[in-house]
Amino acid sequence: MFYYRRLIPLIALLSLTAAGCQFLPQAGNKEAQTESGASDQEATPNKLPPEQIYDKQVNQDEVWGLVKKIGFTDNSIVVTLEVTNGSKQVIELNAKDDMYLMDNTGDSRYNLVPPPNNRTLPIQPGTTLKGDFVFTGRLSPRANELTLYINSSSSRSDSQTPYITFDEMFIRR
């Protein structure tokens, strides 16, 4: 009986040794997996960039805009934007469905997805509109800069539908 108590742990130890101790974590292997996973992601040409933080301000007459950040998803680009109307009349940011992003490749235009009950995005005098604005489309893998156009078909002197651009928003990948 005394031999069986010693024999069972010895058999278990020998079988684990023969199996290569698969139950033990292999620290060297873990690093190798992490490194290869990272290089696989870098090699993927369609990898989305991380969220971009900006403090991009534009002053256009009595309207002030501030882009705070841009995030990227598989099917959209989300811009966190604040616009303040300092004038004495209501302004509209999307008067003719012409609020969009363009990238520097020249191939891609990302149109705003306006709220169904607020398509023109009016801003009352003396108030600020803050929000996340969603633009349709996945960022081109070749893009490294975005420009946001607001009321691009309006003239710069039109005070109700101000033409505003946020350019040189570089994308860190």
Can you give the pTM of this predicted structure? 0.74
Q: What is the pLDDT along the chain (173 residues), one digit of tens a residue?
A: 555 555 555 555 444 444 444 444 444 444 444 444 444 444 456 799 999 999 999 999 899 999 999 999 999 999 999 999 999 999 999 999 999 999 999 989 999 999 999 999 999 999 999 999 999 999 999 999 999 999 999 987 788 999 999 999 999 99
DSSP 74: S
> How far from 90 is each of 15, 34, 118, 159, CA to CA, in Å?
80, 54, 14, 9
Question: Across the chain, which distance is largest between two alpha carbons, in Å?
Answer: 100
The predicted pLDDT at position 45 comes to 65
> Among 83, 51, 57, which residue's Cα sits nearest to residue 70?
51
**Per-residue model confidence (pLDDT) at position 70:** 99
Tokens representing 18?
């023969």
pLDDT value at position 26?
45
Q: Please answer whether residues 91 and 106 qualify as being in contact, where contact means their C-beta atoms are separated by less than 8 angstroms.
A: no
Across 49-127, the runs of DSSP E, i.e. the strands, are 52-60, 63-72, 76-85, 91-92, 100-103, 109-111, 122-123
pLDDT value at residue 117: 96
